[in-house]
């Protein structure tokens, strides 16, 4: 019985705060008239339930649903903000286009415009 008391304390955490009399509830007395009678019934019903429930299932029936959910998630565009060349943040759908800025394939590291843009000006 100590094990049951320990289990009740661990699972419900209310035994010290709401003590109820030991023993089975009076099921023939009709509806509970007090909170203590109600708690006694709830605890009696909980004690009748198994502590562990095992379920046998066929994983092949679940896998098609998981695959469909994974495919749907993969097709959804990301809404995470990205850092743009101008330094502002934008979602991938809103990324601004900068026609004046050279694109990566056209810019050459050794060109004079790239070197001039990267070098600080000294007056």
- Asked whether residue 98 is assigned to any structural domain, the reply reads no
- Asked whether residue 37 is assigned to any structural domain, the reply reads yes
- Asked whether residue 16 is assigned to any structural domain, the reply reads yes
Phi, psi of 75 (to 5 degrees): -80, -10
pLDDT digits (tens, 9 = 90+) for 52-110: 888 888 878 777 777 677 777 777 766 555 665 665 555 555 555 555 555 555 444 44
Res 52: pLDDT:
84
- The total of other beta-carbon atoms located within 10 Å of residue 44's CB is 14
pLDDT digits (tens, 9 = 90+) for 16-57: 566 777 788 888 989 999 888 998 898 888 888 888 888 888
Any idea what DSSP says for residue 103? P
**pTM of the complete model:** 0.35
In which domain, by residue range, is 15 found? 2-26+33-46
Res 107: pLDDT:
46
Number of independent structural domains in the chain: 1
Q: How far, in Å, CA of 114 to CA of 108, rounded? A: 7
- Asked whether residue 12 is assigned to any structural domain, the reply reads yes
- Asked whether residue 75 is assigned to any structural domain, the reply reads no
Q: Residue 122: helix, strand or coil by DSSP?
A: coil
């Amino acid at each position: 019985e100590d094990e049951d008391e320990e289990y009740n304390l661990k699972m419900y955490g209310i035994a010290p705060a709401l003590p109820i009399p030991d023993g089975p509830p009076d099921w023939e007395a009709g509806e509970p008239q007090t909170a203590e009678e109600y708690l006694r019934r709830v605890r009696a019903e909980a004690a009748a339930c198994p502590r562990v429930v095992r379920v046998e299932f066929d994983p092949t029936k679940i896998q098609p649903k998981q695959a469909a959910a994974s495919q749907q998630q993969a097709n959804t565009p990301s809404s995470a903000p990205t850092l743009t060349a101008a330094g502002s943040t934008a979602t991938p759908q809103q990324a601004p286009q900068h026609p004046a800025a050279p694109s990566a394939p056209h810019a050459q590291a050794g060109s004079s415009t790239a070197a001039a843009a990267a070098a600080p000006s000294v007056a």
